[in-house]
Each structure stands twice: as structure tokens, then as C-alpha cells.
Amino acid sequence: DAGVIQSPRHEVTEMGQEVTLRCKPISGHNSLFWYRQTMMRGLELLIYFNNNVPIDDSGMPEDRFSAKMPNASFSTLKIQPSEPRDSAVYFCASSLDLAENTGELFFGEGSRLTVL
């Protein structure tokens, strides 16, 4: 069975450009999480969805960040406009259903974003 698939794996862009990161969760998983990893701040939860509905976006740093989950098999995280401080590795993770199990997360390999 395929794991969580993220694209692109690497993205280099210039400040001010729009960035879109994509995630395909494991089939049958109802919960999806977006995390950001930096050396300074570690792993930060940005937003998570349950059954395609955003449950908590309190970790989204500011209005430049937005996330959508139009269906059970696809989610995007968009940054517009991007800034150098957004440089990080962005992880998507999925889970069966947090409310009904222990909440084990399955992570993608991450998207490394560099904003120049």
C-alpha cells in the first residue's frame, strides 16, 4: 500500500512568489495534518482536517498561509506571497481517525522549501 505522498520534494522560489505544496494521504485515512519543521522551532502543527473539514488552523502562522482539502485523497498548503522565513520542511501526515483510535500518524517524506 502506498504511503503518504507529497510533492514537490524540493522547491526553490523567490520571495513574493506563490508556493503550493500537495499531499495525498493514505487511502482510508480520515485525518490529515500539515506540520512545518525548522531547526529553531522543531515540528509545528499548522492545521489538521478530519473528514475533509478543517478542525484547527490555530497553528497557521498568518494569512499568507492557507490549506484546503477538497476531497479525501488530496490536500494543498499554499503560501502567498512567500517570504524567506517560510523556508522549512513541510510534512503532511495522515491518520485513520483520531477520535476512534490512538492517533498514530503516517508521515510523507516532506517538501523542502527554500525561499530566496
Given 56, 80, 85, 87, the residue binding another protein (CB under 8 A): 56
Given 7, 30, 50, 73, the residue binding another protein (CB under 8 A): 50
Burial class (CB in 10 A: 0-12, 13-18, 19+), 16: exposed
Nearest approach, Cβ of residue 16 and another protein (Å)? 28
Given 24, 25, 48, 79, the residue binding another protein (CB under 8 A): 48
CA angle 26, 31, 36 (to 5 degrees): 90
| 3-state DSSP assignment of residue 32 | strand
Burial class (CB in 10 A: 0-12, 13-18, 19+), 67: buried
Given 13, 52, 74, 109, the residue binding another protein (CB under 8 A): 109
The answer to whether 12 contacts another protein (rule: CB under 8 A) is: no
Nearest approach, Cβ of residue 81 and another protein (Å)? 27
Q: Where are the alpha helices (DSSP H) in 6-116?
A: none
Residues that bind another protein (CB under 8 A): 4, 31, 33, 35, 42-43, 45, 48, 50, 55-56, 91, 93, 98-99, 102-105, 107-110
